[in-house]
Structure 1
Amino acid sequence: MIDLKFVRENPAAVRDSQRSRGENPDLVDALLEADAQRRAAISAADQLRAEHKSHGKLIGRAAKEDRPAMLAQGAELSAKVKAAEVEETAAEAALDAAHRAIPNVVEDGVPAGGEDNFIVLETVGDIPDLGFEPKDHLTLGESLGLLDMERGAKVSGSRFYFLTGYGALLQLGLLQLAIQKAVANGFTPMIPPVLVRPEVMQGTGFLGAHADEIYHLEEDDLYLVGTSEVPLAGYHSGEILDLSNGPMRYAGWSSCFRREAGSYGKDTRGIIRVHQFDKVEMFIYARPEDAVAEHRRLLAWEREMLAAIEVPYRVIDVAAGDLGSSAARKFDCEAWVPTQQTYRELTSTSNCTTFQARRLGVRYRDENGKPQVAATLNGTLATTRWIVAILENHQQADGSVRVPQALVPFVGTDVLKPKG
């Protein structure tokens, strides 16, 4: 949730943020009205409680003949207190609903608009001139014995797959390299649970407009995560952190699950858009004043990993309408995919400011010892989809694929060759 004090003091800025996202600015006024009604309800209930308490003291000192009337008046006051408390509870609920309806306030400089309104910040590396008609990652993966979509569909349905042989080693190598780099940069490696409670999924902002993307186990009322950002955000829920020595950084390695609802017929070939994949996700708790700098560090660490797999890519500043409810700013790194003649997302890093931590009750103590709401940030360091970019960009005319040097120690060979 956004800071209610900020909304009271800067309603125009929040309305502007809503417009840049393509969201309804009137929700800001609805929130302010709900806030006013809640405060009025609290004041009215407090006043009636005080009157009821004072009246109770008077009854004890009243003459015997006056007590029946005073007791009746006390009962009337008691009923009014109960009614006022019901109104207070309803006002609290209305405020909470209005508060949760507004996404995070976008950072200054974020481009307005939707999915196609991003700004390219930088393009890195040259688009390869292969000198032959490239094969797509699925054709390569099958010919090299790395990928089995047919049996994945037989076992689990469409958009599931087996990574086999060197394909499995390639993914494991990517993730191990990512963890090694994370640890070298001060991250604590974590293997989190992939099933979380509703309050954790809700707290991270994933049960809003895109709730239909999430697998829900109704009998247990648990959700399968689409990123380890979710359990890592819930890891310190309800706690006061010690950030006196700087941000707390975690790197979560997990399987991730997405229903891909609404994407029927889109990227159905291969492993670009699937229901299950593995990922190493960076997650940071920081003081709000350090969040922008931490966001840039996350992007730099992502770029180090992309350099290690030796693929051309570009960095984009994602437009406000494509940020998701929790992020105030998001940078994506998109790798070139030769057979599609376009760039496709490999990494994403978001500054969620205090939005998630406010929902989850994650705080820290400032220099005066007073608890304050922390900021949270996240960023992808490696995922299954990277195999697409590696195979397509490093393919050779004979159908083999060169393994990036950084991955050779994990994969065990420098060239993946077609099966005989």
Structure 2
Amino acid sequence: MKTLIQQVEKRRDELIGLLSDLIAFRTPAPPARNTDEIQSYIADKLQTIGFDVDQWDVYPGDPNVVGTRTGSHSEDFQSLILNGHIDVASVEENEGWETPPFEAVIRDRTLFGRGSADMKGGIAACLFALQLLHENDVDLRGDVLLQSVIGEEVGEAGTKQCCERDYGADFAIVADTSDCELHGQGGVITGWVTVKSPATHHDGTRQRMVHAGGGLRAASAIEKMNKLITALQELERDWAINKSYPGFTPGTNTINPAVIEGGRHAAFVADECRLWITVHFYPDESADSVAKEIEDHLLATANADLWMKDHPPTFQWGGGSMIEERGEVFPSFSIDEDHAAVNDLMEAHEQTFSEPAKISMSPSVNDGGWLAEAGIPTVCYGPGKLEHAHAVNEHIDIDQLLDYTKTLLRFIVKWCNQPKERS
């Protein structure tokens, strides 16, 4: 182990070069459909260090890569998934970058470039750690899998497809941005609320809808949506008062009215209005349960309205892509602090960083929920700060990246040489 740790320092330029290569691949999502080249690069790296590689298209131009190194005694020793996404946040022109976003630039022990923190830094560290294990002929009795997935930035859940393809393990680390803390997370689901009139009216008939003696019971879908937005705010406040979960600040469970679409032309009364909402929920809830709470509350609100009781809102929840379906789901997950792998990871962290590892709940979301939903104990543990992810001049601290790689080496060697627990 001492030799491995020393090599991380001595060969730091190789790790920085690897991360620089990954940053140079332009993989923003949206637009996505641009990861063929980077995934081929990663697949080649994995094959070079003795991994069997499975590569398949999730969408045309966006393949997943899973590399597997079979342990010398797979049946009897613990296995591990290292997971990361290779898509990055979009980059707009004239955002004010001080360095070219798709070129790694080093200043004062800091590496700048889109994806450095979220999360090509984590992917590079995983690849480099696995390379060092291979080159030093380190025996791992249990299996190690690296999942390089697409689509996390736009809810396309390449990780979910890995689970559906039956890639599993005894433990999983999502190497996403956590400032080297162990993170669980709440969940997210998006939904569309639609108010629709069965008839379309010229705006000249509005006086008959809203003034005495008009005799026309009709409504503007936009105005009725106003009532539902107010109802959502009331429900959000009630959740903040009556729901909580350890590790989250009060009111983390929010209902965001993110996008509204309605009306067809200024000469018509709006006959349809659609509201796109984003809902954050706690690990002791599910996407289905919070969706039902919202539906029940809005339907009760509609039932108290003279027009909406006969024309109630309709709902569409989730989706597999923000690009293709304008919808997404991120399941929640919590950390089992008594799990042996969690203890081993915390010990490896403390040995490297000379301070105890922190366990907390992320205010963001990542693909770890899909691994947990598949029954795999999971933590998010990666280099980089959330405040730098998606930001102009995104960057990562090189010393933290090196220490993260050392922690991975310590953990992988211990965990994958630990006998499985037999029931």
**Length-normalised TM-score, structure 1:** 0.28
Structure number, greater radius of gyration:
1
Greater relative contact order structure (CA < 8 Å, 6+ sep):
2
Higher helix share: 1
**Length-normalised TM-score, structure 2:** 0.28
